[in-house]
C-alpha cells in the first residue's frame, strides 16, 4: 500500500477480548461499515448497528441511555442545545391548527418560540400565569389544546407549580405534558407522569460551561415517535460533546448538591440584608412554594432571584460591583453568575406581563456556583458596601 493510501486507511488497534478501557472511547466516526452489504442488512445490524452519526452514534447513545436512567425513563434523544430539545418536543407533538399552553413564567427563548415562531406554522398558543388554575383548566378543556410546556421551578422567579395537579389536569383533557426540567435537574421529578422531560444539558449536565447540549427524555414509545423527526431535522449532538457530557455527569450529584447548598446559604445571607426587599428561593421556609418544593424536589437547586430596595441604576451598579459573580445569563456551571432580570430574562414581556411575572427593574438573578461560600458572601458584602454605603 502506498503511503498516500495508508494515511487514509490507517492501522486499526483492536483490544484483546476481555480487555476494556475504564473510560469509554469517543466514537468520532461519522460513518460505520460492515464487511458485506448482506451483514449490514442483517437483523443484528438493524437492531443494534450504527450507520451514520446523524442517525445514531455509540458515544451519544451512551449519554442518552444514562440521561434516561437518571430521569427514571426508558429512552432519550440527545440534541445540540436545550432549545433544540424544546423544539423537538413541540414539533414532534403539534400540527397546524393545534394549540399549546405556555406560561408567562418561562425561559424567554421558549416564549419566543411559542409566541413568535410557532404561529407561522398555524400553531396557536395561550399564555397564562402559572398560578391561574382556572385559566389552565379552561384552556386544557378546549378541543384544540394539545400540549403544555412548563418549568419547575420557573425561570427566573422560582415559582413552584404543583406538578401532580398539572399532570392530572392535562391527563383528564388529553393534553401532552412537556416539563423543562433544566433547573430541577436530571435526578428530579422522575416520579411524576410527565410525557416528555426536556433539559438544557448546557447547564448542570455538562456542568462546566464549555459545552452546549439538550436532551428529550420519555417512554420508549414517546421517544420512538420523535426519533425520525430528530434524525431528519439534524440537530444531533456531536459525539465529542457527548463525551464531555458523559465526563461532566460523573460529578453531577456532587456538583448539583454543592450548587444547592451554596444557593441556600446565599439566599439565607440575602434574607438578612436590609438592602434586600425579598428573596425568591424555594429552599427558604417563607417561600410560598417551600412546602410543595420540599415534597416535589430532591434539592432546591442553584438559582435564586431577589429584589433590591433600589432603583434600576443602583441595581445595575450593584451587579457591576460584584467581582466573583460574572454578569451572564446561564446557570449550572462551576462559577457563579449574576444577571439583571428585566434586561436578560424579561425583555419580550409587556409591562403587565412583567408585573404578573413579578419581574421588576430591581430584580437580580444569581446562578450560584460551587466556589467556597465565604468568598461568595464576601463578594456580595463588598458590593452592598460599595453601592449602598
Ligand atoms: N430552558 C431553560 C430553563 C434554560 O434556562 C435554558 C438556557 O438558559 C434553556 C432551556 C436553553 O438551553 P440552551 O441554551 O442549551 O439552548
Nearest residue (by CA) to ligand 1, atom 6, is 200
The CB of 82 under 6 Å from ligand 1? The reply is yes
State the distance from the centre of ligand 1 to the C-alpha of 82, rounded, in angstroms: 5
Q: What's the pLDDT score for residue 24?
A: 94
Kindly report, residue by residue over 246-278, the tens digit of the pLDDT: 999 999 999 999 999 999 999 999 999 999 999
**Burial class for 353, CB neighbours closer than 10 Å (0-12, 13-18, 19+):** middle
**132/282 Cα distance (integer angstroms):** 19
**172/137 Cα distance (integer angstroms):** 10
State the distance from the centre of ligand 1 to the C-alpha of 33, rounded, in angstroms: 36
**Among the options 73, 111, 146, 203, which is catalytic?**
203
Residue-wise pLDDT tens for the chain (389 aa)?
Answer: 999 999 999 999 999 999 999 999 999 999 999 999 999 999 999 999 999 999 999 999 999 999 999 999 999 999 999 999 999 999 999 999 999 999 999 999 999 999 999 999 999 999 999 999 999 999 999 999 999 999 999 999 999 999 999 999 999 999 999 999 999 999 999 999 999 999 999 999 999 999 999 999 999 999 999 999 999 999 999 999 999 999 999 999 999 999 999 999 999 999 999 999 999 999 999 999 999 999 999 999 999 999 999 999 999 999 999 999 999 999 999 999 999 999 999 989 999 999 999 999 999 999 999 999 999 999 999 999 999 98
Q: Are strands 75-79 and 196-200 parallel, antiparallel or unpaired?
A: unpaired
Kindly report, residue by residue over 278-324, the tens digit of the pLDDT: 999 999 999 999 999 999 999 999 999 999 999 999 999 999 999 99
> Are the CB atoms for 186 and 205 separated by under 8 Å?
yes
> Are the CB atoms for 155 and 367 separated by under 8 Å?
no
The CB of 235 under 6 Å from ligand 1? The reply is no
Sign of the four-CA dihedral 57, 31, 54, 229: negative
Q: What's the pLDDT score for residue 355?
A: 94
> Are the CB atoms for 130 and 105 separated by under 8 Å?
yes
- Burial annotation 145-184 (CB, 10 A radius, 16+ → b, else e): bbbbbbbbbbbbbbbbbbbeebbebbeebebbbbbbbbbb
Q: What's the pLDDT score for residue 43?
A: 95
Mutating to test ligand 1, I would choose from 67, 81, 82, 199 the residue with most ligand atoms within 8 A of its C-beta, which is 82
> Are the CB atoms for 182 and 200 separated by under 8 Å?
yes
Q: What's the pLDDT score for residue 334?
A: 97
Q: For residue 192, what is its C-alpha cell? A: 411524576
> Are the CB atoms for 242 and 78 separated by under 8 Å?
yes
Is 180 part of the annotated catalytic residue set? Answer: yes
- Kindly report the pTM of this predicted structure: 0.97
Is 54 part of the annotated catalytic residue set? Answer: yes
Q: For residue 84, what is its C-alpha cell? A: 433544540
Is 142 part of the annotated catalytic residue set? Answer: no
**Among the options 27, 99, 107, 204, which is catalytic?**
107
| Centroid of chain to Cα 264 | 20
Mutating to test ligand 1, I would choose from 107, 154, 183 the residue with most ligand atoms within 8 A of its C-beta, which is 107
Q: To 5 degrees, how large is the angle CA 105–CA 77–CA 51?
A: 155
State the distance from the centre of ligand 1 to the C-alpha of 346, rounded, in angstroms: 14
**Burial class for 221, CB neighbours closer than 10 Å (0-12, 13-18, 19+):** exposed
Nearest residue (by CA) to ligand 1, atom 12, is 82
Q: What's the pLDDT score for residue 23?
A: 96
90, HSE (Cβ side, Cα atoms, 13 Å): 28
Q: What's the pLDDT score for residue 33?
A: 97
**36/13 Cα distance (integer angstroms):** 21
Cα 142 to Cα 146, 155, 174, 229, distances in angstroms: 9, 27, 10, 27
Q: What's the pLDDT score for residue 370?
A: 98
State the distance from the centre of ligand 1 to the C-alpha of 83, rounded, in angstroms: 6
The CB of 81 under 6 Å from ligand 1? The reply is yes
The CB of 182 under 6 Å from ligand 1? The reply is yes
The set of residues, in sequence order, having a beta carbon less than 8 Å from that of 315 and lying 6+ positions away, is 308, 340, 361, 362, 363, 364
The CB of 103 under 6 Å from ligand 1? The reply is no
Q: What's the pLDDT score for residue 385?
A: 98
The CB of 105 under 6 Å from ligand 1? The reply is no
**308/288 Cα distance (integer angstroms):** 19
Residue 8 DSSP SS3: coil
**Among the options 34, 54, 142, 253, which is catalytic?**
54
Q: What's the pLDDT score for residue 234?
A: 97
Region of 306 (left: φ > 0; alpha: ψ -120 to 50; beta: rest) is: beta
**Domain architecture of the chain: domains with CATH:** 37-249 (3.40.640.10), 252-388 (3.90.1150.10)
> Are the CB atoms for 150 and 165 separated by under 8 Å?
no
State the distance from the centre of ligand 1 to the C-alpha of 200, rounded, in angstroms: 5
Amino acid at each position: 500500500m502506498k503511503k498516500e493510501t495508508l494515511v487514509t486507511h490507517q492501522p486499526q488497534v483492536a483490544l484483546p477480548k476481555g480487555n476494556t478501557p475504564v473510560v469509554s472511547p469517543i466514537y468520532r466516526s461519522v460513518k460505520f461499515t460492515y464487511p458485506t452489504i448482506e451483514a449490514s442488512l442483517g437483523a443484528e445490524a438493524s437492531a443494534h448497528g450504527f450507520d451514520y452519526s446523524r442517525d445514531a452514534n455509540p458515544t451519544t447513545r451512551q449519554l442518552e441511555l444514562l440521561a434516561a436512567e437518571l430521569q427514571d425513563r426508558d429512552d432519550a434523544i440527545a440534541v445540540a442545545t436545550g432549545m433544540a430539545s424544546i423544539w423537538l418536543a413541540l414539533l414532534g407533538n403539534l400540527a397546524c391548527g393545534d394549540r399549546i399552553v405556555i406560561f408567562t413564567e418561562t425561559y424567554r427563548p421558549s416564549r419566543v418560540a411559542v409566541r413568535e415562531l410557532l404561529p407561522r406554522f398555524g400553531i396557536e398558543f395561550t399564555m397564562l400565569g402559572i398560578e391561574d388554575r382556572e385559566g389552565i383548566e379552561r384552556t386544557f378543556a378546549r378541543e384544540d389544546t394539545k400540549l403544555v410546556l412548563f418549568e419547575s421551578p420557573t425561570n427566573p422567579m422560582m415559582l413552584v407549580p404543583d406538578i401532580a395537579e398539572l399532570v392530572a389536569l392535562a391527563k383528564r383533557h388529553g393534553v401532552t405534558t412537556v416539563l423543562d426540567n433544566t433547573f430541577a435537574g436530571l435526578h428530579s421529578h422522575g416520579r411524576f407522569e410527565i410525557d416528555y422531560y426536556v433539559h438544557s444539558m448546557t447547564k448542570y449536565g455538562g456542568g462546566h460551561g464549555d459545552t452546549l447540549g439538550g436532551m428529550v427524555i420519555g417512554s420508549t414509545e414517546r421517544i420512538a415517535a420523535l426519533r425520525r423527526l430528530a434524525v431528519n431535522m439534524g440537530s444531533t449532538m456531536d459525539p465529542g460533546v457527548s463525551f464531555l457530557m458523559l465526563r461532566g455527569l460523573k460529578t453531577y450529584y456532587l456538583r448539583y448538591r454543592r450548587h444547592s447548598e451554596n444557593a441556600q446559604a446565599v439566599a439565607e445571607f440575602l434574607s438578612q440584608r436590609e438592602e434586600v426587599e425579598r428573596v425568591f428561593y424555594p429552599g427558604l421556609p417563607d417561600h410560598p412554594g417551600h412546602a410543595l418544593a420540599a415534597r416535589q424536589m430532591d434539592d432546591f437547586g442553584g438559582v435564586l432571584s431577589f429584589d433590591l430596595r433600589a432603583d434600576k441604576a443602583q441595581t445595575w451598579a450593584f451587579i457591576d460591583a460584584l467581582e466573583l459573580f460574572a454578569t451572564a445569563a446561564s446557570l449550572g456551571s462551576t462559577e457563579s453568575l449574576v444577571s439583571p432580570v428585566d434586561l436578560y430574562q424579561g425583555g419580550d414581556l409587556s409591562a403587565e406581563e412583567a408585573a404578573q411575572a413579578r419581574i421588576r427593574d430591581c430584580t437580580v438573578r444569581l446562578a450560584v456556583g460551587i466556589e467556597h461560600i465565604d468568598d461568595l458572601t464576601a463578594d456580595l458584602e463588598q458590593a452592598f458596601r460599595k453601592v449602598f454605603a
